[in-house]
Amino acid sequence: MFKKSVEDLLNRQVEREGNSAVLYLSMASWAETNSYAGIAEWLYAQAEEEKMHMLKVIRYINERDGKAVIPSFDKPPADFDGLKTLFDQVLDHEKFITGSINEIVAETIKENDFSTHNWLQWFVSEQVEEESSVHAVIDRLNLVGDHNLYIFDRDIMSMREEENGE
Ligand code: OFO
């Protein structure tokens, strides 16, 4: 049985995944206009993934006979205080999203909704990967330092490809 409280939290997640997508799009645009082509590519790809996450939740709500409601999204900031701050913001945001997924998981346990609980496991694993890939980016950024950002920008997409086994 699909409970209203679970449906409401999933609709909240639709909004949050959409907010993630627009935040990363804005970051990508900032990076592109600041001549960080590789970082922009990484962030555009991240925004695409967030859109896919949002769609996944929308389709699931409707499949369970609920109703996915498409919200308006928060206007993201247009400017960022440099790469280090930007990726710290990405990490904080991903931790927030992990917490949000965990709250839905907890609600499915409370409501004995084992199907949704099972379906959510994909998101649980995905959040582990998302946080770890941002951690890896921050580590690399710290390693190369401010004077080698050209190398960081050149290499960031290959980090993503390695993670995806490409
Ligand atoms: Fe959808 O995982 Fe990031 O936000």
CA distance 67 to 11: 8
CB 24 within 8 A of CB 134: no
Is residue 15 in contact with ligand 1, taking CB distance under 6 Å? no
- Can you say how many angstroms the Cα of residue 60 is from the centroid of all Cα atoms in its chain? 18
Task: Please report the atom of ligand 1 found closest to the CA of residue 50.
Answer: 1
DSSP annotation string for 80-143:
-S-HHHHHHHHHHHHHHHHHHHHHHHHHHHHTT-HHHHHHHHHHHHHHHHHHHHHHHHHHHHHH
Q: Tens-digit pLDDT profile for the chain (166 aa)?
A: 789 999 999 999 999 999 999 999 999 999 999 999 999 999 999 999 999 999 999 999 999 999 999 999 999 999 999 999 999 999 999 999 999 999 999 999 999 999 999 999 999 999 999 999 999 999 999 998 888 888 889 988 888 777 777 6
pTM score, whole prediction: 0.94
CB 81 within 8 A of CB 31: no
Is the CB of residue 26 below 6 angstroms from any atom belonging to ligand 1?
no
CA of 34 from ligand 1 middle (Å) equals: 24
CA distance 76 to 27: 9
Per the CB < 8 A criterion, the answer to whether 153 and 39 are in contact is: yes
Q: Which residue has the tokens 């409970």?
A: 3
Nearest ligand 1 atom, CA 46: 3
- Ligand 1 midpoint to CA 71 (Å): 17
Q: What amino acid is encoded at 73 in this protein?
A: F
- Find the 16 Cα to ligand 1 centroid distance in Å: 8
53 lines ligand 1 (CB under 6 A): yes
DSSP 75: P
How many of the other CB atoms lie within 10 Å of CB of 128?
Answer: 11
In this structure, the residue with its CA closest to atom 3 of ligand 1 is 94
Domains of the chain: 4-163 (1.20.1260.10)
Distance 91 CA to ligand 1 centre (A): 10
